[in-house]
Amino acid sequence: MKRCLFWILVGGLLLYSFEVYAQKPCLNCHAEIKKQLQMGYVHSPLKKGECTVCHSSHTSDSPHLLKKTVKETCLSCHIKVKVKYAHLPVADGKCTQCHNPHASVNKWLLRKPPKQLCFQCHKKDNLLIGKRVHKPVSQNCLSCHKAHGSNYQFLLTTNIKEICFACHSQNKVGQIHKVQMKESTSCLSCHNVHAASGKFLLRQYVHQPYAKGQCKACHQIKNGEVCELRAKDSTLCLKCHPKVFAEKGIYNHLEVGLNQNPCLDCHSPHRADVRPMLKARPYRICLSCHQETKRRLFSASKKYRYKHPNVKNKKCLVCHYVHASNDLFFLKQGGINTCLSCHGKHIKFSHPMGEKAIDPRNHQPITCITCHHPMGAKDKYNVIFDHNKELCIQCHQIGT
Amino acid sequence: MRKGCLLIICAICLMATGLWAGVKTELDGVIYGNELVFNQPQFAFWDSGRQRLYIVDSLNNRLVSFNSQYKYISEFTAGGKLNLPIAMVRDDKGRIVVSCAGDHKVYVIYLKEKKILPLDFSAYHQRVIPYRLAFYDGYLYVVDKGKKCIFIFEPKAGGYSLKKWIKEKAAGIDDIKVRNGHLYVLDSLLKRVFIYSPMGNFERVIKLKGVVSPVSLDVDERGTLYVLDKVKGKIILFNPNGEMVGKFGKLGWKEGRFYYPQYLLLSGTGKIFVVDTGNGRVQVFDLH
């Protein structure tokens, strides 16, 4: 019995001494981490020498011998907050994309100062499209946006009007604007909050009736005041743009939209930075609804490894119509001709296609998209199946 | 080790038979058209009285009928008046009602009298973009995709007259069905099913979880919702509380698989008709 107690005591002492010792010697080998201790901001577990809070000293399934994945490791101490809109790296659990897990010269262990850090992903060329830059943009993005997540769109700290009126006096704004601004009116409808080439950060392109001061073209005017819209649905727009309504097809974008007037899902009624009066660049508008396509485009999966150059360059409108089509994918000129408009030479050497080449799987004419998926496929040339064998045996049976 | 292997084999067998998700189906027939194959078929209608299946073959501007063995009977073009038909029903008087995307009109076709009259929306005073149709107990239901509302037409001597319209906060109505004394409305953008009484009084809403792009729905006698997801190429089953209870189908081109299907219909006799638009065919499954 005594012998047993003795060995338990010895074992316990050994384990304790190992635990104490284990925290110290990490830095003996990891000299680059040791150097980081001199930086202004050090992660508290490292400061206390508690490397084993995050890392396993022996083996792990996660990189850097982390005990769990990066997301799980961070969230074991830092509380997760549920928000409507999460910043993409946060949602993907890529905390280390912005933060250094050990130490940094920047506050909150940021890899770079906040301003530089944001522009790492949000490219200046895309964001700052004019010479006149909004002051907070050149100072600190966090004056309007939240870094991790928010219940407001674009990760804003609060609703857009409150943000604007925090700096710009509401009375002054009211005096400058000739018409009474409504509750629902958004400053972003006319102003680009980041940068613009025009005065007052006004967006470049102007809707003709608005430019001419013909508010009554779209709005009702009562006692000289601009009131409600003349129609709440697409008839408002189609009255002046009848050609759009004339674009008929079994698939029609005019029939679907979160707005009561689906035109306003993509187009801005007053001012815009992108022609023709688009709310954003076309691909951004497309992907805001086509979530499955977005998932393919941004997926790192090998299944969607190869993508068409127009997809990579985000040029949706090179191949697709936007208003109406009889083609399932709104392809311009139908399936084959859409591709041939660029790949004209392929007709001379490619697999037979069209009415004379029937796919035995579904009795439909073979087209380019029978074998290729431009939005992302697993094999070279955007081929859906492995082009060495799997692709061919979809239709051509192998003799035994 | 042996137990592990057995479990894996059992799992594979269950998945192959479709039991894995609680649904067992068997492909009963595949319809490609007649001499002329379908071009973008959009809709199917099962006439249980006549035991006939009607397919709306949109780009060929025709309605094609098949018998219960899925053998071709005839096609109907209304003398070339159908301009991109997208939905049809056959009412209790034997009239065919067709909605056309080409001229945004709904036509009532009187077969015996050999006349075609457009449905009168004039009481609504606004332009209508008609889409899917349903027929129940003498009443005709028409989806307006433009205003995102549902029109209810009541029978009148020799035709229909507009009784009322339902306008809720729908973003994109894609399908309607009247089953078990309720009107089911599928909103593909909000991914919700709104349930009304047949006369349009709101009852409740079901949120659909786990769907990407729902385009069509149907409901069986137990109240189970069958939702067709065109992007996933699957039919997903929800119980009346909106909980997912099963799914079947796979994206693909071979028979039994779906490529951007557009419409789903239950016959009421254990058959599921899936209009597999991307593959230009209609597939019929036996539901066990």
Please give the Cα distance from B167 to B187 (Å, whole number).
12
A390 touches chain B (CB under 8 A): no
Cβ neighbour number for residue A151 with a 10 Å cutoff:
13
Which of A85-94, A226-235, B250-259 is the most confident on average?
A: B250-259
Residue A291: inside a domain, yes or no?
no
Contact between A248 and B101 using a beta-carbon 8 Å cutoff: yes
* Domain end point (choices A51, A82, A111): A111
Q: Measure in Å the smallest separation between the Cα of A132 and chain B Cα atoms.
A: 38
Q: Which residues of A touch B148 (CB under 8 A)?
A: 260
Give, in degrees to the nearest 5, the angle at Cα B239 between B234 and B243.
80
Mean pLDDT value of segment A179-207? 81
Domains: count for chain A: 2
Provide the phi-psi class of B256: left if phi over 0, else alpha when psi is between -120 and 50, else beta: left
Q: Measure in Å the smallest separation between the Cα of A25 and chain B Cα atoms.
A: 42
Mean pLDDT value of segment A195-201? 85
B216 touches chain A (CB under 8 A): no
Q: What is the number of residues in chain A?
A: 400
Taking CA–CA distances from B30, the nearest residue in chain A reads A362
Q: Label the pairing between strands B159-167 and B149-156.
A: antiparallel
Residue A37: inside a domain, yes or no?
yes
B27 touches chain A (CB under 8 A): no
Taking CA–CA distances from B170, the nearest residue in chain A reads A258
Q: Which residues of A touch B86 (CB under 8 A)?
A: 250
Per-residue model confidence as pLDDT tens digits over A175-192: 777 666 666 677 888 888
Residue A337: inside a domain, yes or no?
yes
A235 touches chain B (CB under 8 A): yes
Residue A66: inside a domain, yes or no?
yes
Q: Which helix (H) or strand (E) holds A233?
A: none
Contact between A363 and B32 using a beta-carbon 8 Å cutoff: yes
Report which of A279, A224, A230, A227 is spatially closest to residue A257, judged by C-alpha positions. A279
Taking CA–CA distances from A327, the nearest residue in chain B reads B40
State whether residue B204 is helix, strand or coil: strand
Residue A166: inside a domain, yes or no?
no
Domain that holds residue A307: 298-400
A288 touches chain B (CB under 8 A): no
A139 touches chain B (CB under 8 A): no
Cβ atoms of A188 and A181 closer than 8 Å? no
**Among partner residues B86, B131, B280, which is closest to A362 by beta-carbon distance?**
B280
Half-sphere exposure of A288 (CA within 13 A, CB side): 13
* Domain end point (choices A88, A111, A134): A111
Residue A60: inside a domain, yes or no?
yes
Q: Measure in Å the smallest separation between the Cα of A255 and chain B Cα atoms.
A: 5
Taking CA–CA distances from B56, the nearest residue in chain A reads A250
What is the number of H-type helices and E-type strands within chain A?
20, 14
Mean pLDDT value of segment A317-338? 85
Mutate to test the interface with A, among B129, B149, B191, B257 (most CBs of A within 10 A): B129
On the question of pLDDT at A305 being above 90, the answer is: no
Residue A138: inside a domain, yes or no?
no
Per-residue model confidence as pLDDT tens digits over A235-275: 888 888 888 877 778 888 877 777 778 888 899 888 898 88
Residue A317: inside a domain, yes or no?
yes
Cβ atoms of A210 and A216 closer than 8 Å? no
Contact between A362 and B259 using a beta-carbon 8 Å cutoff: yes
**Among partner residues A249, A289, A362, which is closest to B281 by beta-carbon distance?**
A362
Contact between A326 and B254 using a beta-carbon 8 Å cutoff: no
Per residue of chain B (288 residues), give pLDDT as tens.
Answer: 555 555 566 555 544 444 445 578 888 889 998 888 898 999 999 998 889 999 999 999 999 999 999 999 999 998 888 989 999 999 988 899 999 988 889 999 998 888 999 988 887 767 788 899 999 999 999 998 877 889 999 998 878 989 988 886 667 788 999 999 999 999 888 899 999 999 988 989 999 988 988 999 999 999 999 999 999 999 999 999 999 999 989 999 999 999 999 999 998 888 999 999 999 999 999 987
* Domain end point (choices A52, A85, A111): A111
